[in-house]
């Protein structure tokens, strides 16, 4: 049997993935586990977390609300004290709300800000404090094709994902000198629970297939390679970068 390429081998590393009981977060957790990492699943629903961990066969669970600054710090500090270092963080927790901007509810806007961008700050800071002390760490923030592009009806979501891209640059600027690599993955349109309404809409799917050079929806497993790369020694001099995994949609008019 061929030995894994050491550049992409995550054996001995521990990865925390927020929002990982389903969808993209779960797929990335499985992908990192397959590359040798021990994974820590996060979410607010302990039953869903337990089911996801059982499906993976061997995974830690760490239930906390990623929008609660003090709760995040307590959970991260407690895990590190009991189980050791978190070497890799994937900030994946996110939500969507679709309404035309002139009628967008203020409370929904605030929830988007807290879930999609404040959580990246809260969890990123809590984990980075430990990584800085060790002089090493990998942080991957899940951005979006909306980091670069906008569509009708999701202006606040677009704003949050633009902020994720810029916060990633800020993390790299502040923390690269401490040995951290902080980057982002920007998925295009993937068949996930968050996009269920769009997947079920034949008109939207037809538009997407014409608009995307690859001509189709993405499969969540197609994000794994990017995540393993950015989690591994292979990306040791990659910092502040947003990697678009979008079938070419940001490359064409």
Sheet holding 137-142, edge to edge: 60-63, 38-43, 14-17, 88-91, 137-142, 180-187, 242-245
| Domains of the chain: total | 1
pLDDT the model gives residue 74: 98
The answer as to whether 251 is a domain residue is no
Q: What is the pLDDT of residues 49-74, one digit of tens each?
A: 999 999 999 799 999 999 999 999 99
- Tell me the CB-side half-sphere exposure of residue 28, using CA atoms within 13 A: 32
Q: Which has the closest alpha carbon to 63: 50, 54, 80?
A: 50
CATH number at residue 168: 3.40.50.720
Q: What is the mean pLDDT of residues 195-221?
A: 94
pLDDT the model gives residue 2: 55
The answer as to whether 163 is a domain residue is yes
pLDDT the model gives residue 196: 87
Q: What is the pLDDT of residues 60-113, one digit of tens each?
A: 999 999 999 999 999 999 999 999 999 999 999 999 999 999 999 999 999 999
Q: What is the mean pLDDT of residues 125-131?
A: 98
Q: What is the mean pLDDT of residues 164-193?
A: 96
> Which residues are annotated as catalytic?
157
The answer as to whether 30 is a domain residue is yes
Q: What is the mean pLDDT of residues 214-229?
A: 97
Residue 115 CB contacts under 8 Å (≥ 6 apart), including other chains: 66, 67, 93, 94, 95
The three-class DSSP label of residue 181 is: strand
């Amino acid at each position: 049997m061929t030995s894994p390429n050491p550049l992409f081998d995550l054996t001995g590393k521990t990865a925390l993935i927020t929002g990982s009981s389903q969808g993209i977060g779960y797929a990335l957790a499985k992908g990192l586990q397959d590359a040798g990492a021990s994974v820590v699943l996060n979410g607010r629903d302990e039953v869903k977390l337990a089911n996801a961990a059982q499906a993976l066969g061997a995974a830690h669970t760490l239930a906390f609300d990623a929008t609660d600054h003090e709760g995040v710090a307590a959970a991260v500090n407690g895990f590190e004290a009991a189980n050791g270092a978190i070497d890799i963080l994937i900030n994946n927790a996110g939500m969507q709300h679709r309404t035309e901007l002139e009628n967008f509810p203020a409370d929904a806007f605030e929830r988007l800000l807290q879930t999609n961008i404040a959580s990246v700050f809260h969890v990123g800071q809590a984990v980075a404090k430990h990584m800085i002390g060790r002089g090493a760490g990998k942080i991957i923030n899940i951005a979006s094709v909306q980091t670069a592009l906008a569509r009708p009806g999701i202006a606040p979501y677009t704003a949050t994902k633009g902020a994720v891209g810029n916060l990633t640059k800020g993390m790299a600027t502040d923390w690269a000198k401490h040995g951290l690599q902080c980057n982002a993955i920007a998925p295009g349109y993937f068949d996930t629970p968050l996009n269920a309404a769009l997947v079920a809409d034949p008109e939207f799917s037809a538009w997407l297939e014409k608009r995307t050079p690859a001509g189709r929806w993405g499969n969540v497993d197609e994000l794994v390679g990017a995540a393993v790369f950015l989690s591994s020694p292979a990306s040791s001099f990659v910092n502040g970068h947003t990697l678009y995994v979008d079938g070419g949609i940001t490359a064409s008019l």
